[in-house]
Amino acid sequence: MQRSVFTYGPQRLLKMCKSRSEISQLHTLMIKIGLDIVPFPSSKLLASCVMVDFEYARSIFQRIENPNLFMCTTMLRGYSLLEIPEISEAVGLFNSIRLRGLSLDQFTFIATLKSCLRRSKVGDEIHGAAVRSGCDLFLNVRNMLISFYSSCGMIQQSHKVFDEMINRRDVVSWGALIAGYVEFRQPAKALDLFVAMQSELKSSSTSTTVAVSVLQASAELTDHSLGESIHGYCGKVGLVSDRNIASSLITTYSNSGRMDSAHKIFRETNPRDVVVWNCIVDGYARSGELEQSLNLLQQMESEAGLTPNAATLVGLLVACASSGNLTLGRHIHSRITAEMETNDTILGTALIDMYSKCGHIDKATEIFDKMCTRDVKSWTAMIAGFGTNGRPKAALELFHQMEEEEQNTKPNAVTFLAALNACSHGGLVAAARECLRRMVDVYGLRPRIEHYGCVVDVLVRSGMVREGYELIENLPPNERRDPLLWRSLLSGCRLHGDVELAELARRKLIEVDGQLPTDEILMSATYTSAGKLPEPAVVDMFSGRFVGVSSVWVDPTFPIGSHIEHTETGRTRSHYEL
């Protein structure tokens, strides 16, 4: 063995190591012959450990007196691969490198940014250090900054970095920004960028990653012709045979209800892996064809010889939750208990969601309590379950428990949305305000329209319509123009008969969303709630009648109800107005 170390070198032997025990044996031998204090073989040992067992790599790193830049960057790359991020440790290591005066390179910045995804305040500091060191001029650092800001929901900052890269953008740059807009729920903008990319780069320049993002955008828009166009484009550039593209195409057609086209792609894909099978099973399940979905599941096992994984059954559980099919959900639960790892976090979360949406919140709680490990999605599903099942106080108690108990699992934007929804359902004004404050001040998350909508809703439901209006007016200009907020305010005015504020909300809605019948009906109902007649302007835009007012003439010589005649104008001239 000693001869092998000298003959082939530790680097070649490390490539053969696939487990911690094998790496540990080689490490022991390196210590015995003194190679552990030589920088090059030590660096290679650390790089191999990071990929196999991060804790073992950490123990090796802690024993190195003066680790070089490569070793530090290797550890930062290890932090970026962890399922549960250790952001404070990664940032601490990055700062220690700077304090030691080591010259940072592009790889150090990329690894650090990957380790701190979704933490905007940390990212700003790293971005500043990259600018001062000159490493921001590297294309791959710029691309990583676009991805980083997108992950933080700071899509405008991502676009700013992208715009500064004129004449230096590649497919990765475009792909990172397109993926950011898809994640930010702006599929139309993502597709516009894809068209612009074709103009700036060669028409055939694309990648599997970009194509998948564009297909996701078209799936959200549920535009049949658009999905077909992208399908044709993928065929033109030779990507249609890629299984990732095939999976995305199946999902795109499934989301638009075109299961015949989705099944055609499925049949033409060969060989099919578990992911492709999962997409078609999930597609039929979401389309409400649960029987066909179960038939495909049986074919997957009997004909293809593939074992369904957690993702396969998660798709079925989501379909059960959406359709309220508790019987099938229980059957899948029994199968999971009999055949799979009962402590699987993803499956546990899907079961919590299914039972919650089917109204069995106690069963969801039982599953949650038995989970050995919980991630942010598990906590969020349980909080949302309490909120939608009329237990807002329990939802908030669980939210606070998550903050106290889970040091490495921080609530994200979806978690806060679930908590705010619970506040809205329960009329908990103070709790909603506190949630919004902690979201910004404590966790550095940027609220979206949905978050503000919940707070406006709970304010107006509680009679605090003026406070709801002030909240909307204090938002940034782009968010202030969202019709969801003004419609929520108008609905609150209807409940409490605030005609003056309702008129203002109606004018804003006409300005940002046009004149819609639903808004006119809400406006008329507000007048009714306040005991007033509608203004002449509040008329049905199609027939010219007053919305919400139905007038009839009752002949006084006949018993009431024996002779009823509608007036021509709709204005009342009778003793009775219904």
Contact yes or no for 492/459 (Cβ under 8 A): yes
Separation in Å, CA 505 to CA 301, 429, 453, 457: 57, 21, 14, 14
Q: At what angle do helices 310-323 and 274-286 cross, to 10 degrees?
A: 10
CA within 13 Å, CB half, 393: 0
Instruction: Report d(CA 526, CA 514) in Å as an integer.
Output: 19
**Which amino acid would we find at residue 564?**
I
User: Between the ranges 41-50, 269-278, 512-521, where is the mean pLDDT highest?
Assistant: 269-278
The b-or-e profile of 483-494 (16+ CB within 10 A means b, else e) is bebbbbbbbbbb
Residue 316 structure tokens: 């079925």
Cβ-contact 135, 430 below 8 angstroms: no
**Confidence grade of residue 545 (pLDDT, cut at 50, 70, 90):** very low
The residue ranking higher by pLDDT, 235 or 567, is 235
Handedness of CA 212, 216, 219, 221 (dihedral sign): negative
End-to-end CA, the chain: 98
Angle between helix 139-151 and helix 155-163 axes, rounded to 10 deg: 160
- The tokens for 3 are 């001869």
- 124-138: average pLDDT: 90
Q: What is the pLDDT of residue 439?
A: 92
Name residue 145's amino acid. Answer: L
Cis peptide before 271 (omega within 30 of 0): yes
Query: Using CA atoms, how far apart are residues 239 and 70, in angstroms rounded to an integer?
Result: 36
pLDDT in tens, 15-37: 667 777 787 887 888 888 888 78
- More confident of the two residues 120 and 265: 265
Largest Cα–Cα distance of the chain, in whole Å? Answer: 119
Lowest mean pLDDT, pick from 257-271, 365-379, 522-536, 552-566: 552-566
Dump pLDDT digits (tens) for 499-517. Answer: 888 888 888 888 887 777 8
Listing DSSP states for 491-535 in one string gives HHHHHHT-HHHHHHHHHHHHHHH---HHHHHHHHHHHHHTT-PPP
| pTM for the structure as a whole | 0.64
pLDDT at 342: 59
Span 433-445, average pLDDT: 90
For residues 476 and 493, what is the distance between their CA atoms, to the nearest angstrom? Answer: 23
Angstrom CA distances, 537 to 10, 26, 104, 549, stand at 84, 84, 67, 14
Which DSSP string corresponds to 191-231? HHHHHHHHHHS-TT---HHHHHHHHHHHHHHT-HHHHHHHH
Dump pLDDT digits (tens) for 162-194. 999 888 889 999 999 999 999 888 888 999 999
Q: Is the pLDDT of residue 310 over 70?
A: yes
Please say whether the dihedral angle defined by the alpha carbons of residues 522, 523, 529 and 532, taken in this order, is positive or negative. negative
Residue 571 pLDDT greater than 60, yes or no: no
257-261, 340-344, 567-571: lowest mean pLDDT where? Answer: 567-571
- Is the CB of residue 54 less than 8 Å from the CB of residue 20? no
Identity at 578, one-letter amino acid code: L
Alpha helices in 358-498 (DSSP H): 361-370, 376-388, 392-405, 413-426, 429-441, 449-461, 465-473, 477-480, 483-496
Over residues 220-253, the pLDDT tens digits come to 876 667 878 888 888 888 887 888 888 989 988 8
Q: Is pLDDT at 561 greater than 50 in this prediction?
A: no
Task: Check if the beta carbon of residue 509 is closer than 8 Å to that of residue 516.
Answer: yes
pLDDT at residue 22 in the model: 80
427/425 Cα distance (integer angstroms): 6
Among 94-98, 121-125, 404-408, 525-529, top mean pLDDT goes to 94-98
Segment 250-271 shows an average pLDDT of 88
pLDDT higher for 9 or 200? 200
Average pLDDT over every residue of 395-408: 86
Bridge partners of 546? 539
Q: What percent of the chain has pLDDT over 70?
A: 87
Cβ(126)–Cβ(145) below 8 Å: no
How far apart CA 461 and CA 295 sit, in angstroms, is: 47
DSSP string, 50-82: HHH-HHHHHHHHHT-SS--HHHHHHHHHHHHH-
The Cα 440–Cα 455 span in angstroms is 14
d(CA 286, CA 164): 42
Q: At what angle do helices 20-33 and 39-52 cross, to 10 degrees?
A: 170
**pLDDT for the residue numbered 536:** 56
Residue of higher predicted confidence among 381 and 291: 381
Of 405, 358, 415, nearest to 381 by C-alpha is 415
Please list, in sequence order, all residues whose beta carbon lies within 8 angstroms of the beta carbon of residue 192, skipping any fewer than 6 positions away: none
